Structure 1
Amino acid sequence: MSTRWYPIYQRGNPQLRVFLPNFWMKLVHPTPKQQPNIVHFQCSMEMTKHDIKNYLTKIYNVPVVDVRTKIALGRFRKDPGKGYIVKDDDIKYAMVTMPKNMTFEFPNLFEKDQDDKAENEKSLAEAKKTYRAYIDRNKDRKDVPSWFSI
């Protein structure tokens, strides 16, 4: 269930209401190796297969051939502090099949370019030089706080 509260209808025009969707989707890595035209998502429990297909085609212009969904039950565990049993939320997974000629490659978010590495090293060297100048300037003033110098 959504936590959004929509404004109550009021008489008169214009109606200043914006209806936001209660749906969300999150791209996840598949646990087993999949074909390159299959993409896995975590999605809202209220979404149906038709909602998922419309969401991807209308908003992101992704051609969808087939959608399969699965609900994974949340884990039962013992609360470490109180000792009673709690259940994690259930999760709905959607496996979306795209046409055979399309491939999806999961983005590598943590890949660094060589330019970024060189720029970071240059910035670090500049910071070290500035800090060394600050230490040399205040080495004879041990009893004065650092924020007091100009």
Structure 2
Amino acid sequence: MSSRWYPRYFKGNPQLRVFMPNFFMKLVKPEVPQPPNVVHFIVSTEMSKYDIKNYLEKIYKVPVDSVVTYNKMGKTKRSTVGGYIIKDDDYKLAFVTLPKGETFEFPDLFPEEKEAEVKKQQEQLEVLKKEWNQLAKKNQHRKGVPTWLGL
């Protein structure tokens, strides 16, 4: 549910309200390989199959063939400090099937171009570490004095 408070509406005043759905849908990569026209979501527990279908069709204009949902219980575990039991929140999984001919490909969040850039940054970091170690060896006898205070 939403925690938004809106100003009261009076006839003749401009409309100050913005109506947004109180639901959430989180796209998740499935644990088991699925057909190319099936998309896996974690959704709000209050959403029904019809809410999910309408949400995707009306807001994102995605054609939906069918929706299968089921509730999963959150995991229980024992606390390391007090020894009491902690339970994660329950959640609902939704498998949305797109019509034949439609496919969904999970977006590539870490393309190869970015990986090359990360490697370049790691190499720069290694060079900086070597320079720092050389500077630290040079100023070994000056403990507690900052390195920028050179003589």
Deviation, 1:76, is 5.3
Q: Does 1:127 align with 2:128?
A: yes
User: Which residue does the alignment assign to 1:20?
Assistant: 20
Closer, same or farther: CA 26–127 of 1 in aligned 2, 3 Å: same
The residue identity in structure 1 corresponding to 2:26 is K
Deviation, 1:139, is 1.9
Q: Which runs of 4+ in 1 moved over 4 A?
A: 75-80
User: Which residue does the alignment assign to 1:97?
Assistant: 97
Q: Are 2:27 and 2:41, in contact at CA under 8 Å, matched by a contact in 1?
A: yes
User: Which residue does the alignment assign to 1:60?
Assistant: 60
Q: Does 1:51 align with 2:51?
A: yes
CA distance in 1, matches of 2:39, 2:140: 63
User: Which residue does the alignment assign to 2:6?
Assistant: 7
Q: Are 1:25 and 1:41, in contact at CA under 8 Å, matched by a contact in 2?
A: yes
Q: Are 1:6 and 1:19, in contact at CA under 8 Å, matched by a contact in 2?
A: no
SS in 1 for 2:22: coil
SS in 1 for 2:3: coil
SS in 1 for 2:107: coil
Deviation, 1:117, is 4.1
CA distance in 1, matches of 2:83, 2:120: 50
Closer, same or farther: CA 78–135 of 1 in aligned 2, 3 Å: closer
Closer, same or farther: CA 140–97 of 1 in aligned 2, 3 Å: closer
Q: Are 1:6 and 1:17, in contact at CA under 8 Å, matched by a contact in 2?
A: no
For residues 92-119 of structure 1, the C-alpha deviation after alignment (integer angstroms, 9 at most, x for no partner) is: 1111001222222333435543532442
Share of identical aligned residues, percent?
43
Gaps of 5+ in 2: none
The residue identity in structure 2 corresponding to 1:128 is K
CA distance in 1, matches of 2:141, 2:76: 60
- Deviating more after overlay: 2-11 vs 25-34: 2-11
Deviation, 1:130, is 4.8
Deviation, 1:25, is 0.6
Gaps of 5+ in 1: none
CA RMSD, Structure 1 to Structure 2 (Å) = 3.2
SS in 1 for 2:52: helix
